[in-house]
Structure 1
Amino acid sequence: MKKILIALDYEPSAEMIAETGYKIATALNAEITLLHVIAEPAYYSSLDYSPIMGYSGFMDTIDPALTDTVKDDIKKMAQEFLENSKKHLGNDSIKTIVTEGSFAHSIVDASEGGMADLIVMGSHNRRGLDKLLMENVAEKVIHLSKIPVLVIPIKDGEKNG
């Protein structure tokens, strides 16, 4: 495995996922790409951010009434998040991708065409209404992917390993 794609979201567990994927990639001397998939602007307004790898969120810096501007701001901030993640990992050679769309399909699409030999991502254990409303992205990626997927299980409230 020479190319590893690490999919990160804004959950506090992203730090653990990035560090675990990074350790695996460096042990294999593999090329690393960090990926963040952005969603509709309304998704971000409901998130409660805590600092992740030096990134503290951005919803107080954008105006949700300006949809096109918001999308541009979200893309810029997602790229900033990935750049901060690269700095946290201490490796300037890490590539980054910000894409938009369905989380699972976007992750799989980014891995195709020889772009990755392994996908590393987290799986959030949701309960109750959250489980009904939120798609299980990891499960869907496993189903759609043609390459191996390493899923790091995340327990409720877990931040770092």
Structure 2
Amino acid sequence: MYDRILVPTDGSEGVERAICHALDLAEAHGATIHAIYVVNTASYAGLPMESSWDGIDEMLRSDAEAALEDVRRLADERGVSVEAAVVDGSPSREIVSYAEREGCDLIVMGTHGRGGIDRLLLGSVAEKVVRGSNVPVLTVHVADEAPGQPA
């Protein structure tokens, strides 16, 4: 049923739950995981020109590689193959574009499940992906709490 499963990651602690869910599906279906990290360059557009963009870019790329390495490690433990990519742009737009371009069968992504004013003020990448994707999207609730705290 699934051959290529896309898993967006931002490297946060909670996203591991979504990654593990995607890996469970990949194991069951013999699928390949496509892990993507989107460097949200739009959110850094307002930085003063004096800012060292090279230093910021280097830090963001380092974070991206660390997040993708976590996916590779978890996949290796289960014998699931992984293709990984770092892309620049708007997270929701890039996730949808990647899934369609690479022929992914499913997108599995974490969501904080915020509602009301939080969602209005913060927006929801997951919601935008669900609304904009022709590829089915499975959202997995990830907790905002610190590790060891009840969800």
| CA-CA distance at 1:92 after TM superposition | 7.3
Counterpart CA distance in 1 for 2:124 and 2:147 is 19
| CA-CA distance at 1:133 after TM superposition | 2.4
- What is the aligned partner in structure 1 of residue 47 from structure 2? none
Counterpart CA distance in 2 for 1:74 and 1:92 is 26
Counterpart CA distance in 2 for 1:119 and 1:158 is 26
**CA RMSD, Structure 1 to Structure 2 (Å):** 2.7
Tell me which protein shows more helix as a share of its residues.
2
Amino acid at match of 2:18: I
- What is the aligned partner in structure 1 of residue 124 from structure 2? 136
| 1:120 alignment partner, SS class | strand
Counterpart CA distance in 1 for 2:108 and 2:75 is 15
**How many percent of aligned residue pairs carry the same amino acid?**
30
CA contact (8 A) 1:41 1:71 kept: no
| 1:147 alignment partner, SS class | coil
| CA-CA distance at 1:42 after TM superposition | 6.5
Question: After the TM superposition, which of the residue ranges 85-94 and 101-110 deviates more from structure 2?
Answer: 85-94
Consecutive unaligned residues of structure 2, counting only runs of 5 or more, are 45-49
Which of 145, 152, 156 lines up with 2:140 in the alignment? Answer: 152
CA contact (8 A) 1:41 1:70 kept: no
Cα deviation code 1:100-135 (max 9, x no counterpart): 111110100110134311000011123676433211
Consecutive unaligned residues of structure 1, counting only runs of 5 or more, are 44-63
Calculate the TM-score normalised by the size of structure 1: 0.74
Counterpart CA distance in 1 for 2:137 and 2:144 is 21
| 1:112 alignment partner, SS class | helix
Counterpart CA distance in 2 for 1:78 and 1:30 is 23
Calculate the TM-score normalised by the size of structure 2: 0.79
